[in-house]
């Protein structure tokens, strides 16, 4: 099973870009990288996902290295509302949509 490694916590100044790293060195060729976040007392919220190419949506950008062993989630202009736990997930079974959440990175956005 592909597992992920993330820093326990990170700080970011409001208005600056937040770059959240994730290592997934055992990822297989057909496994997607997903990012979710969980704001306090809420359920996890989907952010973005990708396979090989970099992806961008209205919330964030996902940069995946060429060897696919790591990725970075970029929040271009962090706000206080982006304070949350961010989970990097590798979907280990493409046919069953099964996620393994780790402990995630607690992002603290500070004024």
Q: Which residues bind another protein (CB under 8 A)?
A: 32, 34, 41-46, 49, 51, 87, 91, 94-99, 101-104
Least separation, in Å, of the C-beta of 85 and another protein?
Answer: 8
Least separation, in Å, of the C-beta of 15 and another protein?
Answer: 28
* 25 Cβ contact list (under 8 Å, min separation 6): 69, 70
CA separation for the pair 28, 10 (Å, rounded) = 28
Nearer to another protein, 9 or 13 (CB): 9
Query: Distances in Å between the alpha carbon of 76 and those of 8, 38, 40, 43, 98?
Result: 21, 18, 21, 23, 29
Nearer to another protein, 14 or 83 (CB): 83
């Amino acid at each position: 099973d592909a597992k992920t490694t993330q820093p326990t916590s990170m700080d970011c100044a409001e208005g600056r870009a937040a770059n959240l790293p994730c290592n997934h060195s055992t990822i297989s060729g057909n496994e997607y990288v997903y990012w979710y976040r969980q704001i306090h007392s809420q359920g996890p919220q989907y952010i973005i996902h990708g396979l090989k190419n970099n992806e961008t949506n209205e919330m964030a950008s996902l940069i995946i290295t060429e060897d696919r062993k790591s990725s970075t989630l970029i929040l271009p202009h962090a706000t206080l509302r982006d304070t949350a736990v961010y989970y990097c997930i590798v979907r280990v079974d493409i046919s069953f949509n099964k996620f393994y959440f780790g402990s995630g990175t607690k992002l603290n956005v500070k004024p």
